[in-house]
Amino acid sequence: MTEKGKVYTGVNVENASYGLTVCAERVAVFKAVTEGLKSFKKIAIVTDTDQPKSLCGACLQVLSEFCADLEIVCATLKGEKNRYRLSELLPKAFKKMSREW
């Protein structure tokens, strides 16, 4: 969900070469970015599992580029939920390097 309340969805795009797989979280973020939206308020990850699943490191890092303290909701179809702040799950994210010469 963007700061303006617009919701974007995504799905995992898997590949036989695992490194080329793209997670649903990044798909949703990239869709929003292609429409010019780069400020996010919340992300929800819903899985068909017994326990909520968290985001992978790559997704956490991508999200940190747009919102340092995003709200993250991890849930299951059965209603189990965990809530986090991005800063809890990735307290030492990589920061963009200054390009001042």
Give the distance from CA 11 to its chain's centroid: 12
Q: Is 71 a catalytic residue?
A: no
Tokens for 78, please give them. 């059965």
Q: Residue 57: CB partners within 8 Å, gap ≥ 6?
A: 90
**Quick one: tokens of 100?**
């001042």
What is each CA distance from 92 to 30, 60, 62, in whole angstroms?
A: 22, 11, 13
Catalytic-role residue among 3, 25, 71, 88: 25
Q: Which residues are catalytic?
A: 25
